[in-house]
Structure 1
Amino acid sequence: MSSWIPRPCSHPGCGVLVCDGTSRCSKHPKKSWAAAAKETKRITGRRLQTMRADLFRRKPLCEPCQEEGRVSLATIRDHLIPLAEGGADDVTNEQSICDDCHRLKTKAETARGVRRSWGNYLER
């Protein structure tokens, strides 16, 4: 006889009672810990400030705004492909962008990251 108190499986939406002391039923085992994908190392310090100044000298206006026919001064050096998604921190992966466009882009990237991280967890 088991000495564990039956508890529901901790997987969202699963109500199977687990009596073996683990938090998951046999249908929803916990994923083993794995090292996260390596993010690209960020450039910092004077090198970053030089790259930023060069970018704003070459492209002083917000690139996404220009694509939509608006004119707005760029204030942020942004990565076209986020570093967390494997983008490089160099001239080939940068754009000049305004605060409003950056806020929208960051919100979309965050939502995409949440979907990606929860996608594996919520498989059924």
Structure 2
Amino acid sequence: MQEWYLPITILPGLGMLILSTTNQMMTLSGEIGKILEAKCTPFQHRISDQKIAQLGLLTRASVLLYAATGFYVLSGILGAVLNEGSYNYIASSALYLGTILVFIALVLLIIYGFKAVGIRKEQHFHNHSHK
């Protein structure tokens, strides 16, 4: 049996993840906008394509974190309302589903991080080899 307040205690951490992901999305969107302000070189076009794909990863991760937050809230509410009733498995299921969504979002954020470093390395190499 889960305590009804357990999923609610996780919400501040999820809020920090959502805030961080949103900040990354805004920064990345600004970088893309800066690249696309003027006519792009083929290299800039390739980098902007990669950054747009990165923005898609962040957006998916953000959506999963929002959905997980909803499932945690639902789990807490159902846990309090159904309080040890025969339907308490619904609250537990919502908690488990929210946890799975958080893990998927974290995997996407890890992939984003590795790819972001790869893009920066490519930019660094290009800047030093084309001077």
Q: Smaller-chain TM-score range?
A: under 0.3
Q: TM-score, normalised by structure 2?
A: 0.27
Pick the structure with more strand per residue: 1
Larger Rg: 1
Q: TM-score, normalised by structure 1?
A: 0.28
Structure number with the bigger relative contact order (C-alpha 8 A, sep ≥ 6) is 2
